[in-house]
Homo-oligomer: A and B are copies of this chain.
Amino acid sequence: MQVALVGIGKIALDQHVPAITSSPDWVLAATVSRHGGVGGVPAYTDFAALLAERQDIRVISLCLPPVPRFAYAAAALKAGRHVMLEKPPGATLSECHALEGLARAGRLSLYATWHSREAAQVAAAKAWLADKALRHLSVTWKEDVRRWHPGQDWIWEPGGLGVFDPGINALSIVTAILPEPIHLTAATLSFPDNRQTPIAADLRFHHPGGAEVSAVFDWRQEGDQTWTIKAVTDAGTLTLTDGGAQMAVDGVRAAAQDDAPLTGEYPRLYSKMARLVQAGGIDMDLSPMRHVADAFTLGRRVTVAPFHW
């Protein structure tokens, strides 16, 4: 199947292009970007022109920042194309509902991807937790924004989500591995004095079984980076580290899952998209984004030191 990739920035070049070009399912048939491109692939600067001229391309993958994404997704769906969305699937929950309405009306596939859910050990963690009683769950997601988002000013603008841009990855894993739904009960959001989005967040959740569930996100972490989820249950402690790539139970490291036919988060996303298009389905789980919106709505705002690159 042919796919056009829209938004040729860091995430597109680092992840999407290699995943597509190494896939047995996909051919990268075109790119759309104001500046970037991929050698040997037809490059468009005008999305409307692509939709009009390339009726042969039935699938559009969008990796623009969330704020401009709706207009592209809506145009693609209205032009009868299947759509795959980088995370988060939009700038607002309501626009995601609207996209789902367009996809249903057009009988098109729409996939809100959560790449961290495809990390190597997430499925194993979900399977292990399925029959355990949870006592505590803590998320520690601490990274250096200067290393991972160098100069990306949009993350500090309204809708850019700030530290929730990586934090939503943790929430996408937690909502995937826990058998029961949680909801936020309290949050503290730390906004740099000169920025519109938080640089750190501290979240507490209600769990139906009474477990203590909490998360700490921080973008000011220099040196070692931490992307860890620790779940204490009645039958041992599970630890997911390295963003879900590694798992241990009571300190014993789980076997690597990398003998699966597909290695890596993005190759698995594109494989799922291929199956979704073939089956004619919609996969639009908004729960990670709902938790982020809940945190912005319910969170206590604290002002912290200004942030400069």
Contacts and interface: CB of A to CB of B under 8 A. Distances in A.
Contact of A293 (B161, B191, B206, B296): B296
Interface stretch (A15-23, A176-184, A230-238, A252-260): A176-184
Contact of A181 (B97, B158, B196, B292): B97
A290 B93 CA distance: 7
B183 A94 contact: yes
Interface stretch (A4-12, A116-124, A297-305): A297-305
Nearest to A90: B183
Given A98-B183, A300-B158, A294 B92 contact: yes
A288 B92 CA distance: 13
Contacts of A98: 181, 183, 208
A82 interface: no
A40 to B, nearest CB: 37
Contact of A206 (B70, B97, B182): B70
Interface centre among A97, A161, A298 (most CB of B within 10 A): A298
A186 B293 CA distance: 15
Given A70-B206, A206-B70, A94 B297 contact: no
Nearest to A299: B158
Contacts of A70: 183, 206
8 contacts: A91-B185, A91-B297, A93-B93, A93-B290, A95-B183, A98-B208, A293-B296, A297-B297
A159 interface: yes
A110 to B, nearest CB: 16
A92 B184 CA distance: 7
A292 B297 contact: yes
A287 interface: yes
A94 B298 contact: no
Contact of A159 (B97, B158, B292, B297): B297
Contacts of A24: none
**How many subunits of this chain does the assembly comprise?**
2
Interface in A257-300: 287, 290-294, 296-300
Given A92-B184, A92-B290, A158-B300, 18 more contacts: A67-B298, A70-B183, A91-B297, A91-B298, A92-B183, A92-B294, A93-B93, A94-B182, A94-B290, A94-B291, A98-B181, A101-B181, A159-B297, A161-B297, A191-B301, A196-B300, A196-B301, A292-B297
Given A70-B206, A101-B181, A94 B300 contact: no
A185 B159 CA distance: 9
Nearest to A71: B206
A206 B208 CA distance: 37
A98 B205 CA distance: 13
Contacts of A95: 183-184, 206
Nearest to A289: B297
Nearest to A303: B303
The listed residue with most B CB atoms (<10 A of its CB), out of A181, A187, A294, A296, is A294
